[in-house]
Amino acid sequence: MKIASFNINGIKARLPALLDWLSEAQPDVAVLQEIKSVDEAFPREPIEDLGYIVETHGQKSFNGVAILSKLPLEDIQRGLPGDETDEQARWIEATVVGKQAIRICGLYLPNGNPVPGPKYDYKLAWMDRQIAHAKNMLRQDMPFLMAGDYNIIPQPEDCANPAAWADDALYRLESRTKFRELCALGLTEAFRARNAAPEQYTFWDYQAGAYNRNDGIRIDHFLLSPQAADLLTDCQVDAHVRGREKPSDHVPIWVELDI
Protein backbone atom coordinates (compact mmCIF):
# COMPACT_ATOMS: atom_id res chain seq x y z
CA MET A 1 0.00 0.00 0.00
CA LYS A 2 1.37 3.40 -0.98
CA ILE A 3 0.41 6.20 1.43
CA ALA A 4 1.39 9.80 0.71
CA SER A 5 1.29 13.16 2.45
CA PHE A 6 1.18 16.49 0.63
CA ASN A 7 0.77 20.04 1.94
CA ILE A 8 -0.80 21.58 -1.16
CA ASN A 9 -0.99 25.20 0.09
CA GLY A 10 -4.52 25.81 -1.20
CA ILE A 11 -6.64 23.32 -3.13
CA LYS A 12 -8.05 25.92 -5.53
CA ALA A 13 -4.63 27.19 -6.59
CA ARG A 14 -2.97 23.75 -6.73
CA LEU A 15 -5.73 21.48 -8.06
CA PRO A 16 -4.10 20.94 -11.49
CA ALA A 17 -0.75 20.17 -9.85
CA LEU A 18 -2.44 17.81 -7.39
CA LEU A 19 -4.30 15.95 -10.14
CA ASP A 20 -1.11 15.59 -12.19
CA TRP A 21 0.77 14.20 -9.21
CA LEU A 22 -2.04 11.79 -8.22
CA SER A 23 -2.17 10.48 -11.79
CA GLU A 24 1.60 10.06 -11.87
CA ALA A 25 2.31 8.73 -8.38
CA GLN A 26 -0.85 6.63 -7.95
CA PRO A 27 -0.93 6.58 -4.14
CA ASP A 28 -3.56 4.30 -2.64
CA VAL A 29 -4.11 6.91 0.07
CA ALA A 30 -3.08 10.55 0.27
CA VAL A 31 -3.45 12.92 3.21
CA LEU A 32 -3.50 16.61 2.35
CA GLN A 33 -2.79 19.68 4.44
CA GLU A 34 -3.61 23.36 4.03
CA ILE A 35 -6.53 22.75 1.71
CA LYS A 36 -7.76 26.24 2.74
CA SER A 37 -11.36 25.42 1.87
CA VAL A 38 -14.60 24.72 3.66
CA ASP A 39 -15.88 21.19 3.13
CA GLU A 40 -18.72 22.13 0.80
CA ALA A 41 -16.41 24.10 -1.52
CA PHE A 42 -13.76 21.40 -1.86
CA PRO A 43 -13.46 20.30 -5.52
CA ARG A 44 -14.28 16.63 -4.99
CA GLU A 45 -15.43 15.63 -8.45
CA PRO A 46 -12.13 15.71 -10.39
CA ILE A 47 -10.42 13.81 -7.58
CA GLU A 48 -13.24 11.29 -7.37
CA ASP A 49 -12.93 10.84 -11.14
CA LEU A 50 -9.44 9.45 -10.47
CA GLY A 51 -10.97 6.78 -8.25
CA TYR A 52 -10.60 8.37 -4.82
CA ILE A 53 -12.99 8.59 -1.90
CA VAL A 54 -12.67 12.12 -0.49
CA GLU A 55 -13.09 13.07 3.17
CA THR A 56 -12.29 16.58 4.37
CA HIS A 57 -12.06 18.63 7.53
CA GLY A 58 -12.02 22.15 6.16
CA GLN A 59 -11.82 25.73 7.32
CA LYS A 60 -12.34 28.93 5.35
CA SER A 61 -9.09 30.41 4.00
CA PHE A 62 -6.85 28.66 6.54
CA ASN A 63 -5.64 25.21 7.58
CA GLY A 64 -7.81 22.26 6.51
CA VAL A 65 -6.92 18.60 6.01
CA ALA A 66 -8.23 15.78 3.85
CA ILE A 67 -7.92 12.06 3.19
CA LEU A 68 -8.12 10.70 -0.35
CA SER A 69 -8.39 6.92 -0.61
CA LYS A 70 -8.88 4.32 -3.32
CA LEU A 71 -9.82 1.88 -0.55
CA PRO A 72 -12.85 1.95 1.76
CA LEU A 73 -12.71 4.30 4.75
CA GLU A 74 -14.32 3.61 8.10
CA ASP A 75 -14.72 5.40 11.44
CA ILE A 76 -13.72 8.88 10.24
CA GLN A 77 -12.73 11.31 12.99
CA ARG A 78 -12.27 15.03 12.53
CA GLY A 79 -10.29 17.05 15.04
CA LEU A 80 -7.52 16.07 17.46
CA PRO A 81 -8.96 14.89 20.80
CA GLY A 82 -8.19 16.71 24.00
CA ASP A 83 -9.63 20.22 23.53
CA GLU A 84 -13.29 20.62 22.56
CA THR A 85 -12.79 24.39 22.19
CA ASP A 86 -10.17 24.03 19.43
CA GLU A 87 -11.81 25.15 16.18
CA GLN A 88 -8.74 24.89 13.94
CA ALA A 89 -9.05 22.19 11.24
CA ARG A 90 -5.73 20.38 11.65
CA TRP A 91 -6.51 16.68 12.13
CA ILE A 92 -8.40 13.93 10.33
CA GLU A 93 -8.15 10.17 10.76
CA ALA A 94 -9.82 7.08 9.37
CA THR A 95 -9.40 3.34 9.13
CA VAL A 96 -8.36 2.22 5.67
CA VAL A 97 -9.53 -1.27 4.86
CA GLY A 98 -7.39 -3.32 2.50
CA LYS A 99 -5.87 -6.76 3.05
CA GLN A 100 -5.34 -5.53 6.60
CA ALA A 101 -6.91 -2.52 8.32
CA ILE A 102 -4.67 0.42 9.23
CA ARG A 103 -5.54 3.65 11.01
CA ILE A 104 -4.28 6.70 9.10
CA CYS A 105 -4.02 10.08 10.82
CA GLY A 106 -3.46 13.18 8.69
CA LEU A 107 -2.22 16.27 10.49
CA TYR A 108 -1.21 19.87 10.00
CA LEU A 109 0.71 20.78 13.12
CA PRO A 110 0.72 24.48 14.13
CA ASN A 111 3.62 26.62 12.91
CA GLY A 112 4.02 28.37 16.26
CA ASN A 113 5.63 31.65 15.19
CA PRO A 114 6.27 34.22 16.52
CA VAL A 115 8.21 32.98 19.54
CA PRO A 116 7.51 33.56 22.36
CA GLY A 117 3.77 34.08 22.28
CA PRO A 118 0.34 32.44 22.26
CA LYS A 119 0.87 30.75 18.87
CA TYR A 120 3.92 28.93 20.21
CA ASP A 121 2.08 27.99 23.39
CA TYR A 122 -0.71 26.58 21.22
CA LYS A 123 1.80 24.55 19.18
CA LEU A 124 3.31 22.90 22.24
CA ALA A 125 -0.10 22.25 23.80
CA TRP A 126 -1.31 20.75 20.52
CA MET A 127 1.69 18.42 20.51
CA ASP A 128 0.89 17.36 24.07
CA ARG A 129 -2.57 16.36 22.82
CA GLN A 130 -0.99 14.45 19.93
CA ILE A 131 1.29 12.60 22.36
CA ALA A 132 -1.71 11.69 24.55
CA HIS A 133 -3.66 10.48 21.52
CA ALA A 134 -0.70 8.41 20.31
CA LYS A 135 -0.50 6.75 23.73
CA ASN A 136 -4.18 5.81 23.49
CA MET A 137 -3.76 4.45 19.97
CA LEU A 138 -0.76 2.36 21.02
CA ARG A 139 -3.03 0.54 23.44
CA GLN A 140 -5.03 -0.75 20.48
CA ASP A 141 -4.13 -3.71 18.29
CA MET A 142 -4.51 -1.91 14.96
CA PRO A 143 -1.40 -0.57 13.18
CA PHE A 144 -1.46 3.19 12.67
CA LEU A 145 0.56 6.07 11.31
CA MET A 146 0.55 9.83 11.81
CA ALA A 147 1.47 11.69 8.63
CA GLY A 148 1.56 15.29 7.54
CA ASP A 149 3.17 18.68 7.88
CA TYR A 150 4.64 18.64 11.38
CA ASN A 151 6.27 22.07 11.11
CA ILE A 152 9.22 20.50 12.96
CA ILE A 153 12.84 20.30 11.78
CA PRO A 154 13.95 17.27 13.82
CA GLN A 155 17.76 17.45 13.41
CA PRO A 156 20.41 19.80 11.98
CA GLU A 157 20.79 17.53 8.94
CA ASP A 158 17.13 18.19 8.12
CA CYS A 159 17.92 21.81 7.31
CA ALA A 160 20.25 23.34 4.73
CA ASN A 161 21.12 26.26 7.02
CA PRO A 162 20.44 25.46 10.69
CA ALA A 163 21.72 28.83 11.91
CA ALA A 164 18.98 30.62 9.97
CA TRP A 165 16.32 28.67 11.90
CA ALA A 166 17.88 28.73 15.36
CA ASP A 167 15.18 30.88 16.95
CA ASP A 168 12.29 29.73 14.78
CA ALA A 169 9.39 27.74 16.25
CA LEU A 170 10.11 24.93 13.78
CA TYR A 171 13.58 24.33 15.18
CA ARG A 172 13.49 25.49 18.79
CA LEU A 173 14.55 22.91 21.34
CA GLU A 174 11.08 22.72 22.90
CA SER A 175 9.54 21.81 19.55
CA ARG A 176 12.14 19.19 18.73
CA THR A 177 11.86 17.74 22.24
CA LYS A 178 8.12 17.22 21.77
CA PHE A 179 8.82 15.45 18.48
CA ARG A 180 11.32 13.20 20.22
CA GLU A 181 8.73 12.47 22.92
CA LEU A 182 6.43 11.19 20.18
CA CYS A 183 9.14 8.98 18.74
CA ALA A 184 10.13 7.76 22.21
CA LEU A 185 6.68 6.23 22.61
CA GLY A 186 7.84 3.60 20.14
CA LEU A 187 6.96 5.36 16.88
CA THR A 188 9.30 5.05 13.90
CA GLU A 189 10.20 8.09 11.78
CA ALA A 190 9.82 6.41 8.41
CA PHE A 191 12.09 8.59 6.30
CA ARG A 192 15.14 8.27 8.51
CA ALA A 193 14.47 4.55 8.90
CA ARG A 194 14.94 4.21 5.14
CA ASN A 195 17.17 7.16 4.15
CA ALA A 196 20.51 8.32 5.51
CA ALA A 197 21.40 10.62 2.62
CA PRO A 198 21.73 14.34 3.51
CA GLU A 199 20.16 17.34 1.78
CA GLN A 200 16.74 15.81 1.25
CA TYR A 201 13.97 18.26 2.07
CA THR A 202 10.20 18.65 1.77
CA PHE A 203 9.82 22.46 1.90
CA TRP A 204 11.53 25.35 0.13
CA ASP A 205 10.51 28.98 0.54
CA TYR A 206 9.19 30.71 -2.57
CA GLN A 207 11.67 33.58 -2.07
CA ALA A 208 15.28 34.01 -3.18
CA GLY A 209 15.47 30.92 -5.39
CA ALA A 210 15.47 28.58 -2.41
CA TYR A 211 14.50 25.51 -4.43
CA ASN A 212 17.16 26.05 -7.09
CA ARG A 213 19.78 26.40 -4.34
CA ASN A 214 18.28 23.47 -2.40
CA ASP A 215 17.95 25.75 0.62
CA GLY A 216 15.24 23.62 2.15
CA ILE A 217 14.01 21.99 5.32
CA ARG A 218 12.42 18.62 6.06
CA ILE A 219 9.22 19.19 8.02
CA ASP A 220 6.78 16.65 6.53
CA HIS A 221 6.97 13.32 8.33
CA PHE A 222 5.51 9.86 8.81
CA LEU A 223 5.51 8.39 12.32
CA LEU A 224 4.58 4.69 12.37
CA SER A 225 3.38 2.50 15.21
CA PRO A 226 5.47 -0.64 15.84
CA GLN A 227 2.95 -2.80 13.94
CA ALA A 228 3.03 -0.39 10.96
CA ALA A 229 6.83 -0.07 11.09
CA ASP A 230 7.13 -3.83 10.71
CA LEU A 231 5.33 -3.43 7.35
CA LEU A 232 7.49 -0.54 6.08
CA THR A 233 9.36 -1.22 2.83
CA ASP A 234 10.17 2.29 1.54
CA CYS A 235 9.85 6.03 2.17
CA GLN A 236 10.73 8.69 -0.39
CA VAL A 237 10.22 12.37 -1.21
CA ASP A 238 8.91 13.46 -4.63
CA ALA A 239 11.14 16.54 -4.72
CA HIS A 240 10.73 16.99 -8.49
CA VAL A 241 7.15 18.16 -7.98
CA ARG A 242 8.48 21.47 -6.60
CA GLY A 243 9.97 22.33 -10.00
CA ARG A 244 6.65 22.22 -11.83
CA GLU A 245 4.29 25.05 -12.78
CA LYS A 246 2.52 26.77 -9.87
CA PRO A 247 3.87 24.38 -7.24
CA SER A 248 3.18 24.24 -3.55
CA ASP A 249 6.08 25.24 -1.31
CA HIS A 250 5.97 21.63 -0.04
CA VAL A 251 6.41 18.38 -1.97
CA PRO A 252 4.83 14.97 -1.38
CA ILE A 253 6.41 12.35 0.83
CA TRP A 254 5.23 8.75 0.77
CA VAL A 255 5.66 5.35 2.35
CA GLU A 256 5.17 1.86 1.01
CA LEU A 257 3.75 -0.69 3.43
CA ASP A 258 3.56 -4.42 2.81
CA ILE A 259 -0.15 -4.51 3.47
Q: Which residues are catalytic?
A: 108, 149
Task: Characterize the bridge pairing of strands 91-97 and 220-224.
Answer: unpaired
**Cβ neighbours, 10 Å, residue 119:** 14
